[in-house]
């Protein structure tokens, strides 16, 4: 009996169905300077009740509890000694599978290191993308870095207060706990009485800043943007939205991981076998549309990247490939390369309302 790959389509479908659940159960990693004795250097918590107050400074302990307000699945802490900097955390972070990272340090230079670290590891790892919330970093401009910039926050309960720079843990927890069905925009921070707003909220958002604002008795998040500001062919305006990037990362990770686990090295690189994988990917897209991750009114589809494959043949001494039909290019797979491309529309959240009323 010929080999087939029905299991891949099943795996993809299960991933799509679980997309919402997975998205709201993210993992937070909090790096801090804390010389308090007790606990290991790296600690893992599933519930806030597991965090021992006596094993952290008062400020760090409050920040850790703040991360749990957003209901992430897991919170890791990485304790550095007082003299250490973020550079000393790099080796420890290699063994932690997290989604959102922060460093409880108010120095802009250290926050810039966090942003640079995220950019570097994401450039090396094409399958799994990490994200970070930094505080008033000066070198960001990245879709996986969220730059929180409020100058000050005031807690309703003075005993709950801790430095504004450490509020990145609270924001990490919020973003890790949100499902794809909503955005962090207009989220209420119920423990805060007020915040120091930027002079121009819209201008701050336009500069790629994540800001909180005072809405009467409530403190809310502004438009939930990341720090991406430089746009181009590979960086579009919709990629400035945190919720869109979260969906992008999940889709990339799901397809890459499934290919590696169930396809890579297991089948000959024929067009027929590529079609089996493409069909499974398209089934995954259809299910994501049903789950409101992708737009069900858009033709979300994957297929062979014909032009990329044609260019590979031309560049290796087959100029006649320039005249091949599209179907022949698809049939002529190139060595061990699986050249695929997709076109999808990720649903953003409803945020901007225009409502014109005409009076009779």
Task: Let me know if residue 360 belongs to a domain.
Answer: no
Residue 301, H or E segment: strand 301-304
- Region for residue 223 given its phi and psi (left: phi exceeds 0; alpha: psi -120 to 50; beta: otherwise): beta
**Side-chain half-sphere exposure of 160, counting CA atoms within 13 A:** 13
Task: Let me know if residue 142 belongs to a domain.
Answer: yes
pLDDT band, residue 354 (cuts 50/70/90): confident
pTM more than 0.85: yes
Q: Is 222 helix (H, G, I), strand (E, B) or coil?
A: coil
Give the Cα-Cα-Cα angle 51, 79, 109 (nearest 5 degrees): 125
DSSP annotation of 235: B
Task: Let me know if residue 323 belongs to a domain.
Answer: no
* pLDDT at position 15: 75
Cα R_g (the chain), whole angstroms: 23
Task: Let me know if residue 341 belongs to a domain.
Answer: no
Q: Tokens in use for 201? A: 């909220």
Residues 18-75 have pLDDT tens digits of 776 776 679 999 999 999 987 789 999 999 999 999 999 999 999 999 999 999 999 9
pLDDT band, residue 353 (cuts 50/70/90): confident
Task: Let me know if residue 83 belongs to a domain.
Answer: yes
Task: Let me know if residue 282 belongs to a domain.
Answer: no
Q: Is the pLDDT of residue 6 over 60?
A: no
Distance CA 268, CA 262 (A): 13
Overall domain count for the chain: 1
Query: Which residues pair with residue 188 across a beta bridge?
Result: 220
* pLDDT at position 237: 94
Distance CA 63, CA 104 (A): 8
DSSP annotation of 87: G
Task: Let me know if residue 159 belongs to a domain.
Answer: yes
Distance CA 315, CA 216 (A): 63
Contacts of 211 (CB under 8 A, 6+ apart): 148, 149, 150, 197, 198, 201, 204, 205, 221, 222
Which residue range is the domain that position 75 belongs to?
25-177+184-221
Residues 82-98 have pLDDT tens digits of 999 999 999 999 999 99
* CATH number for the domain that contains residue 149: 3.40.50
- Region for residue 225 given its phi and psi (left: phi exceeds 0; alpha: psi -120 to 50; beta: otherwise): beta
- By CB atoms closer than 10 A (0-12, 13-18, 19+), residue 248 is middle
How many other β-carbons are positioned within 10 Å of the β-carbon of residue 5?
17
- By CB atoms closer than 10 A (0-12, 13-18, 19+), residue 181 is middle
Task: Let me know if residue 278 belongs to a domain.
Answer: no
Specify whether the CB–CB gap between 60 and 32 falls below 8 A.
yes
């Amino acid at each position: 009996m010929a080999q087939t790959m029905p299991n891949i389509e099943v795996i993809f479908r299960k991933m799509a169905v679980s997309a919402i659940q997975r998205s709201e159960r993210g993992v937070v990693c909090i790096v801090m300077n804390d010389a308090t004795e007790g606990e290991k250097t790296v600690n893992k918590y599933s519930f806030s009740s597991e965090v021992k107050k006596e094993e952290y400074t008062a400020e760090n302990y409050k920040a850790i509890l703040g991360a749990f307000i957003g209901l992430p699945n897991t919170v890791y802490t990485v304790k550095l000694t007082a003299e250490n900097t973020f550079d000393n955390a790099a080796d420890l972070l290699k063994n932690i599978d997290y989604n959102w990272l922060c460093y409880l340090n108010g120095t802009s230079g250290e926050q810039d290191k966090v942003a640079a670290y995220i950019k570097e590891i994401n450039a090396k790892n094409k399958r799994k993308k990490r994200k970070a919330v930094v505080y008033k970093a000066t070198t960001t401009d990245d879709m996986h870095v969220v730059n929180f910039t409020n100058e000050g926050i005031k807690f309703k309960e003075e005993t709950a207060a801790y430095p504004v720079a450490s509020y990145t843990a609270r924001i990490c927890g919020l973003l890790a706990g949100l499902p794809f069905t909503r955005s962090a925009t207009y989220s209420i921070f119920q423990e805060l009485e007020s915040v120091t707003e930027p002079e121009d909220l819209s201008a701050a958002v336009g500069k790629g800043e994540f800001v909180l604002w005072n809405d009467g008795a409530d403190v809310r998040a502004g438009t939930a943007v990341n720090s991406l500001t430089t746009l181009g062919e590979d960086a579009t305006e919709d990629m400035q939205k945190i919720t869109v990037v979260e969906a992008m990362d999940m889709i990339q990770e799901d397809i890459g991981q499934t290919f590696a686990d169930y396809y890579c090295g297991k089948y000959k690189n024929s067009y027929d076998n590529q079609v089996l994988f493409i069909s499974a990917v398209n089934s995954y897209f259809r299910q994501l549309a049903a789950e409101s991750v992708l737009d069900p009114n858009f033709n979300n589809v994957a297929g062979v990247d014909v032009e990329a494959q044609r260019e590979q043949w031309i560049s290796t001494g087959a100029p006649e490939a320039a005249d091949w039909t599209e179907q022949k290019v698809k049939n002529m797979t190139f060595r061990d390369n699986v050249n695929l491309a997709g076109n999808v529309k990720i649903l953003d959240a409803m945020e901007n309302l225009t409502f014109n009323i005409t009076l009779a």
